[in-house]
Amino acid sequence: MSKIEEYLSEFDDYELAYFAKYKLDTYLKNSQENINQILFKRGLTKSRIKNLIENNPKSKLDDNKERCPRCYSDKIRKDKVEYTNESNGGSLGIAITAYNATNGKVPYKNEVICNVCGFWLKDPNNEKPKMFITRFLSRFLTKKED
């Protein structure tokens, strides 16, 4: 079993539908073909994907789990990242950043991303990639020259 098959085997059909809609285009062409084969094996056609997204029962869950607001999955990734966005505080924020840098104090905050659909729940440094750039690069890098 390939790593992508192993990874996607942990997704239920609803999660896989959101993955197909929001993250499939972010993979290289070869990986996209493998993912499409997995979708086919699981019976996830375009119309079924659309139906699963429209009728996701997880949207009604109230189980106190941290869930993605877009796909309602609880497969959330939290990464501690160096907080570099102090500049929002104006000159005081810049002074704090300079002080921390000279004294070796590095503040960390959680960057929180959905592992299923790629939605960024928390982005402390405003680094979320823009979708059109991601799709452009994906298509540009996977085009074959004739």
Q: Is 60 exceeded by the pLDDT of residue 122?
A: yes
Q: Are 69 and 121 in contact (CB under 8 A)?
A: yes
* Per-residue model confidence (pLDDT) at position 92: 64
The confidence band for 118, taking pLDDT boundaries of 50, 70 and 90, is: very high
- Residue 78 corresponds to which amino acid? K
* Per-residue model confidence (pLDDT) at position 146: 39
Top pLDDT among 13 and 121 is at 13
pLDDT in tens, 76-115: 999 887 777 655 555 666 666 667 667 767 778 888 999 9
From the CB of residue 80, how many other CB atoms can be counted at a distance below 10 Å?
Answer: 9
* Per-residue model confidence (pLDDT) at position 145: 47
Neighbouring residues of 22: CB distance < 8 A, sequence distance ≥ 6: 70, 71, 117, 118, 119
Segment 3-27 mean pLDDT: 95
Segment 119-130 mean pLDDT: 79
Segment 27-50 mean pLDDT: 96
**Residue corresponding to tokens 């996830």:** 44
Is pTM, for the whole model, over 0.75? Answer: no
The DSSP symbol for 22 reads H
Lay out the sheet containing 108-114: strands in order across. 76-82, 108-114, 120-122
Q: Are 83 and 109 in contact (CB under 8 A)?
A: yes
Average predicted confidence (pLDDT) for the chain: 83
Top pLDDT among 95 and 34 is at 34
